[in-house]
């Protein structure tokens, strides 16, 4: 029987609000068993970029990363946010270790090939070092991954944090029973963005395509759900999209992804 592993990706306004983030990390630190945390931080990166008079550009929920913006996202994701999260987890007696994909060569990526859109220094993940990550987990460390990867030729790359979570879950599902949860400020995927209670409880691939065609799912939710179905097809046991309350109450209303 495979050992259970929880992979939780935190993003949205939760990571931008210090109080919400602290409450989440307090709850997260109480989770039993093996755990991995993945975080985004796009809003903070945008805020810092604008202070430096750099204009961020987004296409279908994905950031276009030129050389200057790569410096910003590396500083924000792998530095400011990652280390603040690790420090808060340590405060709650969760022995966390902050990582980018370059650390321990844990996540190797390639610069995205230019097709219709040039995303700049965006990284598409090629491999995940399951062995190294397993050593950390088995020694009671909680890896905290940011959205920075590398190509093993000295080049850092910006990789969507939802993709990082999905690829980690897919790779680790070979040896663990993986539960993947995307946590943000909403209760789940909403049918009406203005109605907090219009939660779509179950979404399969056909339903997702219909919701996308109807414009109900758009922007940053697109790569999130695309990554969910990749993970499901790669043997991840369960995938949820929920708010922070899901950590302490698995029975609350939320969105579950199904094949």
Annotated binding residues, written as ranges, equal: 41-42, 63, 158
Nearest Cα to Cα of residue 95 among 135, 138, 133, 143: 143
Tell me the backbone φ, ψ of residue 186, rounded to 5 degrees.
Answer: -85, 165
Relative to beta strand 238-242, strand 176-183 is: parallel
d(CA 199, CA 57): 29
Count other C-beta atoms under 10 Å from residue 194's C-beta.
6
H-helix or E-strand spanning residue 44: helix 42-51
3-state percent helix, strand, coil for the chain, nearest multiple of 5: 40, 25, 35
If DSSP codes are grouped into helix, strand and coil, which group holds residue 175?
coil
Q: How far apart are CA 76 and CA 82, in angstroms?
A: 8
Distances (CA, A) of 23 to 27, 31, 85, 166: 6, 13, 12, 24
Query: Are 172 and 7 within 8 A, CB to CB?
Result: yes
DSSP 8-state assignment for residue 211:
H
Which residue ranges make up the annotated binding site for substrate? 41-42, 63, 158
What's the CA gap between 181 and 154, in Å, rounded? Answer: 31
CB 142 within 8 A of CB 37: yes
Could you tell me if 46 and 107 are in contact, meaning their C-beta atoms sit under 8 angstroms apart?
no
């Amino acid at each position: 029987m495979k050992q259970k592993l929880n992979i939780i990706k935190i993003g949205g306004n939760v990571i931008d609000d210090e109080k919400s983030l602290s409450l989440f990390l307090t709850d997260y630190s109480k989770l039993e068993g093996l755990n991995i945390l993945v975080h985004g931080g796009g809003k903070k990166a945008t805020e810092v970029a604008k202070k430096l008079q750099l204009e961020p550009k987004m296409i279908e929920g994905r950031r276009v990363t030129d050389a200057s913006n790569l410096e910003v996202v590396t500083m924000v994701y792998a530095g400011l946010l990652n280390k603040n999260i690790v420090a808060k987890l340590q405060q709650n007696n969760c022995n966390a270790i902050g990582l980018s994909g370059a650390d321990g060569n844990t996540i190797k990526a390639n610069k995205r090939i230019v097709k219709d859109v040039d995303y700049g220094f965006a990284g598409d993940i090629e491999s995940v070092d399951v062995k190294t990550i397993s050593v950390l987990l088995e020694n009671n460390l909680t890896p905290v991954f940011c959205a920075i990867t590398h190509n093993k030729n000295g080049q850092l790359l910006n990789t969507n944090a939802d993709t990082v979570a999905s690829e980690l879950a897919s790779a680790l599902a070979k040896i663990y029973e993986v539960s993947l949860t995307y946590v943000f400020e909403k209760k789940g995927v909403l049918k009406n963005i203005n109605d907090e209670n219009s939660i779509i409880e179950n979404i399969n691939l056909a339903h997702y395509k219909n919701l996308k065609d109807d414009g109900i799912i758009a922007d940053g939710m697109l790569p999130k759900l695309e990554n969910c179905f990749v993970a499901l097809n790669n043997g991840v046991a369960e995938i949820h999209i929920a708010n922070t309350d899901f950590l302490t109450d698995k029975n609350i209303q939320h969105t579950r992804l199904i094949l």
